[in-house]
Chain A
């Protein structure tokens, strides 16, 4: 992971290391830290593709305001990954376009 190893002022106390998947690939991150940070540390830069122009979008504001980092997390689209904590076993996917809400998911399962 692209983590800062030595810093003159700051000490980083990370949470527990957990596994999650990104588009089917296994990755590691720290529990409770935002999903977007874990992805960035794993070298992932593209988080979604825009609906009309199919432009790649990634991390941008990191305060849950700009919608650039929307992704599909455990099947839920438009998740603000910069303020959503990572949990063990999460399934994180690139969001293509607007994202689909599966209204019948509960009945089906």
Chain B
């Protein structure tokens, strides 16, 4: 079997991974990016809206344009960065420090990296209801991929579950693609996402039903509708469920870190509700308890692309520095300051609390 050697292996080519690769390569390291999908950019390629966040982190620029800027930066690194697409990292063998990856569906390769940056992002949550496995029940990210990346209409009439930012933004994007949105359901008594996004869909006449949820999907072989119910303070259904006609049910009920490889590598983990799942302990340079592995982005806690890019830069620099490549301390400090600013204030509070519970001063003292 072919064995590929590299200084730094970056798993995942989203905003975190691309930023890590760019930093490690510009410090002089040879980098391999393994990306499971057919293109680089991760979640960014499906985001057609202008990003919120800090100006330093491209706020006001559309997601897919940020992806293009990051790809340009990678192209500038020339031969220092190799890219393997359609390559899913599937295993990590700590004894041999060996990584296995699937290229397409039938070919396996071994990768032998000196250091690893895991930037595998997140996957969507599913909620339980009868018939939630019927074709037509789709994750919000999947709906975005269909319509924003490949230009395929996901359906004619969509019921959206979840009024967080993702549910609101994807509803608006569905309307832009000419798809009807029957309603947005939200179990909580208030809208979770930003007000601007909610206002946009309300202005276009889409009802946002608070304290409502789906009680079942209807359909024989494919979705033809849904039963919708009102919830009381304890989230128990009240009254008669109402039928909504739709051919697509879109779940925007949150993400959870894609942390399988971190578990395999034996990284010290903790369940942190504010970071949306099990996440690894880290030092301030994003190194995990496994001294060969760094991580960045949604895989270490669901946050935003802006934070993912800075964490990626820190992880990439730190991994390169551990191999003896020169990285200026100014760059490190600059990134730490940007991350600090991004998480300042009320919006960043949960993240701050979450992150501080899994951050260690340094590994030697703690392992």
Contacts and interface: CB of A to CB of B under 8 A. Distances in A.
A59 B143 CA distance: 10
Interface string A48-85: 00100001111111111110100001001011101111
B105 A80 contact: yes
B160 to A, nearest CB: 16
A45 B222 contact: yes
B86 A63 contact: no
Q: Name the interface size band of chain A.
A: 35 or more
A65 B48 contact: no
Interface stretch (B2-10, B146-154, B186-194, B299-307): B146-154
Contact of A47 (B135, B138, B139, B142): B135
Contact of B135 (A8, A46, A65): A46
Q: Is chain B's binding surface mostly helix, strand, loop or mixed?
A: loop
Interface residues of B, number: 37
A53 B319 CA distance: 48
A47 B6 CA distance: 38
A57 B86 contact: no
A14 B33 CA distance: 25
A10 interface: yes
Interface of B: 36-38, 48, 62, 64, 86, 88, 104-106, 123-124, 133-139, 141-142, 145-148, 150-154, 176-178, 221-222, 258
Interface of A: 1-10, 12, 14, 32-34, 37, 40-41, 45-47, 50, 55-66, 68, 73, 76, 78-80, 82-85
29 contacts: A1-B152, A4-B147, A4-B178, A7-B151, A7-B176, A7-B177, A9-B48, A10-B48, A12-B150, A12-B151, A37-B146, A40-B152, A41-B152, A45-B135, A46-B135, A46-B222, A56-B135, A56-B221, A60-B137, A60-B139, A61-B124, A61-B142, A62-B138, A63-B141, A64-B36, A76-B106, A82-B142, A82-B145, A83-B88
